[in-house]
Amino acid sequence: MSVPYETAAYEPAESPESPEEHLARLLGRALNSFELPDEAIRRLDCALAHDSSLHSAHHSAGLHRETYRHTWLLPDGSAVTLWELVHNTAPGSDPQHEVYVDEEELRAATARLPFPPDTPDFELPVLMQLSAIPEPRHVYVPDDSADHARRLLRRAENADRPGAETVALLTTAFAHQITQAFGRPGRAGRVGLRFSLYEHAFLLRDGRELSLWEVEHTATPDGRHMCEVYVTEDAARDAMERRAARQS
């Protein structure tokens, strides 16, 4: 059975809404928006990006309901989700919209809908990405992150360090996280040879994440510390292995 996507008044992909506009339109059409906790709404005031997806659709005897998941990405790297329930109360009637802060409330509201118990169920789970905003992988700390990126790239000594395109993107970074990675290389090399690998993850203004991989090592002729920076973990680890192989 087909799913009536037109029952939810979403903006077409060629006319994207800002996170604030999307929230305002969602709350404006929801009959119960006044019941939402003020704290949840306040958190969304500073959202950077949003994503909406059709979670499921159900049709039975002229009645229908759809559930939508709306997620906003916040400056601290966390995400807030609101659940929208769209349904009609009688065959052919106009759709009504409700919004909830968690799935438990959504399920309770769904259970109250007047779907005939003796007619076949058509449950169509659907995932429809309207924008590509993935869940963040890191817990970011808002800081002078663009300057941190500049200083990191300034001390990189490798000729194949990130280029102008990456540098330009990092001017929009406003939060970052530094973590140490472990694993390869497996070569011990000379005594006293040291390698460290760090991921510098940056959160950009448009909600995207970008990582730089920093290699610190002493695989130099005089044993001094050297910094190299790469755009992928594989490139960084390959560089570590090459350096270790030369010194073994």
Convert the pLDDT of each residue in 12-46 to its tens digit. Answer: 333 467 888 889 999 999 999 888 888 888 888 88
- Alpha carbon separation from 230 to 124, 212, 214 (Å, rounded): 44, 6, 6
The reported pLDDT for the residue numbered 9 is 34
The reported pLDDT for the residue numbered 115 is 66
| Alpha helices (H) along the chain | 19-29, 38-43, 103-111, 145-155, 164-170, 233-247
The reported pLDDT for the residue numbered 116 is 56
Residues of the chain with pLDDT under 50: 1-15, 118-134, 184-189, 191
The reported pLDDT for the residue numbered 157 is 93
